[in-house]
A and B are shown apart, each in its own frame.
Chain A
Amino acid sequence: MTQSSPPALELRGITKKFGSVVANDRVDFDVIPGEVHALLGENGAGKSTLMSVLYGLYKPDDGEILVDGQVVEISSPSAAIALGIGMVHQHFMLVRVMTVAENIVLGQEPSRRGVLDLKAARARVRELSSRYGLAVDPDARIEDITVGAEQRVEILKALYRNARILVLDEPTAVLTAQEVKELTGVLNRLKQDGAAIVFISHKLGEVLEVADRITVLRRGKKVDTVPREGATELSLARLVVGRDVLLAVDKAPAKPAGPLLEVRDLHVRDDRGLEKVSGLSLSVRAGEIVALAGVDGNGQQELVDSIAGMRAPESGAVEIDGVDIAGKGVRVATDAGVAHIAEDRHVRGLVLPFTLAENLALREYRSPELSGRGWLRLGHMRERAEKLLAEFDVRGGGADAYAASLSGGNQQKVAVAREIASNPKVLIAHQPTRGLDVGAIEFVHRRLVGERDAGRAVLLVSLEYEEVRALADRILVIYEGKIVGEFPPDASEEELGIAMTGGKTQPTEAPL
């Protein structure tokens, strides 16, 4: 890290407008070889736009890009690749039906007279993966590998193209704590190799852990660039949001009453017929938040789906306040008092082309308030929507606005509002803050604690260690479809991490 060498990459005064919206406003940014430079900001702060400009996907309205001190014009991804820029996109750019090796070489395939040389491709992939410690099976199909492995493939794709400047767009959004650690190791190796790394994130903690320097964007403008030394979560949060924020959730001790959700010896298979939940039992009482922590893919999805009625278990019981609803479908579950904040608001939680009124009616459209004799009560739907939008502080449109037109945080508020409005006994919150910015996370967290205090049983399923610790009254760790341990909320990250990866632990008490 000598100051004399020119930055591997420098952006000067980049401005990008979409119509009247200025996504990037004279942004300066640079990264030198052997450094991780984090780009921090809330969703919509202009991080992804800036990187799309860098990668030739958008053409900037003003400003210049320098690579190794030379002004360059990047008009397409292939131009970026030729300049040694590699991008690991937030949404992976992988062809699901093709193999790892095919994905990595796509576009620059080793071939003889047009015929693919897959042997050479495999060899090259193996070489790269051993050199940087990025374990992948070159012949596995993308659809069969884990999310973490997909990300390794994305990084290998960039390395295969000899990228010296590596841009990682929200790389940890989909990773488990364990995988984040592995990623950090990989980044360190790349750094030692002289790569210049741009690390885009909205998570304060991991930025402090990974980055050498941190640049904060807010509303398209660069706020400041600070070295890691001396920066704290609080100082960064202030830069990101532009005001003081409360990082810890303020909550009184739980006063749990009788159990509202009882799961006993549940066995559930996934779509491929594999048993993902194997004899799981748990219980959540009224007035407490139980967090289900675990590495993604250990049966959380199948467990949540069977409690919510979306998937019929093979055997076992799911009781809501004493009523067995296992395998009886969503309507029975809803009627018994289950509400379910879905993991992905775009896949399940919302119908984007619907209005907010229509979206807010999804859970209870059959109730007498909203429809009768097959006819919808449109007036009631609107009134109810307006009330909920006000109560949940949804901004960006009224009852007649389309869900698609809202920002991610406000969309999530709509999804949360609908589920809470159904006045459930049991509230399942499956990754309720995924992809949200600090302000929205704060809101959702406060709301969940409020629902706990209102006497609901809250089951929080989360991959975020911080979130689990901040909200939970009890933490259950799920591993390979079973509860392998129960921990108090102040359990250390190490303790949880070991349990989540199947290691032997000393649970504080026997699992329920």
Chain B
Amino acid sequence: MSLLEEELKAEGEESAAAVVRSPATLTAFRRGLSGITVPILTAVLAFIAGGLVVLATGHNPLSTYSSIFNGTGLNWLFPWVSGAERSTAAGNLQQTLLNATPLILVGIAVSFAFRAGMFNIGGQGQYTVGLIVAVWVGSSFSGMPSVLHIVFAILAAALAGGAWAGIAGLLKATTGANEVISTIMLNWIAIWLGVYVFQLGGPLHNHAQATVPVSNSVVSGAKLPVFWGSASLQGLDVGIFISLALAVVYGLLINRTRLGYESRTVGFNPEAARYSGMNVGRTWIRVMVICGAFAGVAAALDVLGWKFSLFTNDIQTSQIGFYGIAVALLGRNTASGNIAAGVLFGALLTGTSNRNINLSIDPTLVEYLTFMIEGIIILLVSTDVITLRLLKGGRQVRVALGRRRSAEAGPSPGGAS
């Protein structure tokens, strides 16, 4: 559940006791702003905080950020960038969008669950089983017609991801198992399963590579066509369009369909859902399956678009599930928000990757600096209080300080000591 929704809920509960607080004004205020302003401001703040980290480690934040920005390829949008710089920028922008493609979908996999009141930490596992199935289908059936093969691989990966997530939904619905813990477990099971099938001697290991734990390669007919840049230099494939289209599907699904309405009811108030004749358990299962399917498609687009084959190491080091959570939160669980946040994180990943950083410091250090900046972004995404306070001006801060002072004025309790 997003912060906004939690706050709304809390306000609603309080409104019974103290109507005078006029939650209507608060609500309207937050609804109005939460659409665009808060996420953008949050991101900006995160970058400022990240800049401070850069500064603290003895580097120039401005030059670091401008090189990161150029690394994202977003400078391609500036008409004055030309020549070799322009073609580098194009390459980087293609990379950014390649990164954004799965992030949007994994973000949606997290978002939809959030809207139905569940926390899907299992994006990683759902993505991983999607990878396994996509690479298996993509590297087999070499005689199939291209379009059919692609559709088949994507659907198979979606099915696999959906089934994997469905386990967590099913367990929650039937036994009440906490989906946080079951999805974490399913992540690890999926990862070890992936290592198992692609390792030396594993069932899907590429036997031609006797010493490398890697899968077979996707056959050329199953590869997604590249429409921008060169296919040999990892140009941008049509996967981004599939991703965007699915985001639109998600938006329609959540806002315009009965299932979306049921999911939102279950998410806000399962008891009210039951009271309205909705089957809460079935809704949980359906939502999880759909979430998993989104993550599965994300994996298929990666495999068919540019990964083509998988090393066991790819599976063990991927962090996409966690980025997905950040994308969902920054995107406030909406379709358009996920697209924007997905592109932002895609850009950040591209802009800070080793090969694009052009600084006088040790590239390994930059890699870890990147982790810190990403961590700070996620940290700031976790709360909108800072941002809201800035927007609301001093009043809120004064109230908060007053509250804190009055809390401190009390006699000292033993606390937990």
Given contacts A352-B9, A362-B265, A404-B23, whether A107 and B413 have CB atoms under 8 Å apart is yes
**Which residues on B sit within 8 Å (CB–CB) of A330?**
274-277
Partner of B410, one of A76, A351, A375, A402: A76
Task: Give the residues from 273 to 309 in chain A that come closer than 8 angstroms, CB to CB, to chain B.
Answer: 308-309
- Per-residue CB contact flags for chain B residues 18-55 toward chain A (1 = under 8 Å, else 0) read 11111111011001000000000000000000000000
- Nearest Cβ on chain B to A320's Cβ, whole angstroms: 15
Asked if A220 is at the interface (CB within 8 A of a chain B CB), the reply is yes
Which one, B173-181, B242-250, B316-324, B401-409, is touching chain A? B401-409
- Nearest Cβ on chain B to A54's Cβ, whole angstroms: 14
Task: Give the residues from 244 to 268 in chain B that come closer than 8 angstroms, CB to CB, to chain A.
Answer: 256-261, 264-265, 268
Asked if A340 is at the interface (CB within 8 A of a chain B CB), the reply is yes
- Per-residue CB contact flags for chain A residues 49-62 toward chain B (1 = under 8 Å, else 0) read 10000001001000
**Which residues on B sit within 8 Å (CB–CB) of A402?**
8, 12, 24, 27, 31
Q: Does the CB pair B410–A404 fall under 8 Å?
A: no
Q: Does the CB pair B258–A374 fall under 8 Å?
A: yes
**Which residues on A sit within 8 Å (CB–CB) of B85?**
none
Complex Cα distance, B274 from A358, in Å, reads: 15
Asked if B367 is at the interface (CB within 8 A of a chain A CB), the reply is no
Number of interface residues of A (CB under 8 A): 64
Task: Give the residues from 345 to 373 in chain A that come closer than 8 angstroms, CB to CB, to chain B.
Answer: 346-354, 358, 361-363, 365-366, 371
Q: Does the CB pair B274–A346 fall under 8 Å?
A: no
Complex Cα distance, B27 from A435, in Å, reads: 23
Asked if A331 is at the interface (CB within 8 A of a chain B CB), the reply is yes
- Per-residue CB contact flags for chain B residues 51-80 toward chain A (1 = under 8 Å, else 0) read 000000000000000000000000000000
Q: Does the CB pair B275–A405 fall under 8 Å?
A: no
User: Which single residue of chain B is at the shortest CB-CB distance from A219?
Assistant: B20
Which one, A40-48, A94-102, A187-195, A447-455, is touching chain B? A40-48
- Nearest Cβ on chain A to B10's Cβ, whole angstroms: 9
Asked if B82 is at the interface (CB within 8 A of a chain A CB), the reply is no
- Nearest Cβ on chain B to A429's Cβ, whole angstroms: 14
Q: Does the CB pair B277–A334 fall under 8 Å?
A: yes
Q: Does the CB pair A405–B410 fall under 8 Å?
A: no
- Nearest Cβ on chain B to A408's Cβ, whole angstroms: 5
**Which residues on B sit within 8 Å (CB–CB) of A340?**
275
Q: Does the CB pair A79–B272 fall under 8 Å?
A: no
User: Which single residue of chain B is at the shortest CB-CB distance from A109?
Assistant: B414
Q: Does the CB pair A375–B258 fall under 8 Å?
A: yes
- Nearest Cβ on chain B to A472's Cβ, whole angstroms: 25
Complex Cα distance, B115 from A354, in Å, reads: 12
Complex Cα distance, B261 from A361, in Å, reads: 10
Complex Cα distance, B17 from A371, in Å, reads: 35
User: Which single residue of chain B is at the shortest CB-CB distance from A74?
Assistant: B406
Q: Does the CB pair A353–B9 fall under 8 Å?
A: yes
- Nearest Cβ on chain A to B101's Cβ, whole angstroms: 28
- Nearest Cβ on chain A to B22's Cβ, whole angstroms: 5
Asked if A310 is at the interface (CB within 8 A of a chain B CB), the reply is yes
Given contacts A82-B411, A330-B274, A352-B9, whether A435 and B268 have CB atoms under 8 Å apart is no
Given contacts A59-B402, A78-B410, A405-B15, whether A352 and B8 have CB atoms under 8 Å apart is yes
Given contacts A59-B402, A75-B406, A352-B9, whether A405 and B272 have CB atoms under 8 Å apart is no
Partner of B409, one of A75, A90, A371: A75
Complex Cα distance, B23 from A353, in Å, reads: 11
Given contacts A23-B18, A48-B17, A404-B12, whether A371 and B410 have CB atoms under 8 Å apart is no
Q: Does the CB pair B406–A375 fall under 8 Å?
A: no
Q: Does the CB pair B8–A18 fall under 8 Å?
A: no
Partner of A76, one of B258, B277, B407: B407
Asked if A511 is at the interface (CB within 8 A of a chain B CB), the reply is no
Asked if A253 is at the interface (CB within 8 A of a chain B CB), the reply is no
Q: Does the CB pair B20–A353 fall under 8 Å?
A: no
Q: Does the CB pair A351–B265 fall under 8 Å?
A: yes
Complex Cα distance, B164 from A512, in Å, reads: 54
- Nearest Cβ on chain B to A196's Cβ, whole angstroms: 23
- Nearest Cβ on chain A to B288's Cβ, whole angstroms: 19
- Nearest Cβ on chain B to A187's Cβ, whole angstroms: 23
User: Which single residue of chain A is at the shortest CB-CB distance from B11?
Assistant: A404
Complex Cα distance, B22 from A19, in Å, reads: 9
Task: Give the residues from 392 to 435 in chain A that come closer than 8 angstroms, CB to CB, to chain B.
Answer: 396-397, 401-408, 411, 435
Known: A18-B20, A19-B22, A402-B27. 20 other contacts (CB 8 A): A43-B19, A44-B18, A49-B18, A59-B406, A76-B407, A78-B413, A90-B17, A308-B275, A340-B275, A347-B269, A348-B275, A351-B265, A362-B272, A362-B276, A371-B261, A402-B24, A404-B8, A404-B27, A405-B23, A411-B16
14 contacts between A and B (CB under 8 A): A19-B25, A46-B20, A75-B410, A78-B411, A114-B414, A309-B277, A330-B275, A350-B272, A353-B5, A353-B8, A361-B261, A362-B275, A402-B8, A402-B31
User: Which 8 residue pairs across A and B have the least CB separation, nearest first?
Assistant: A352-B12, A404-B12, A405-B24, A330-B277, A76-B410, A44-B19, A353-B8, A362-B276
- Give the A-binding residues of B (Cβ under 8 A): 5, 8-9, 11-13, 15-25, 27-28, 31, 256-261, 264-265, 268-269, 271-272, 274-277, 402, 406-407, 409-411, 413-414
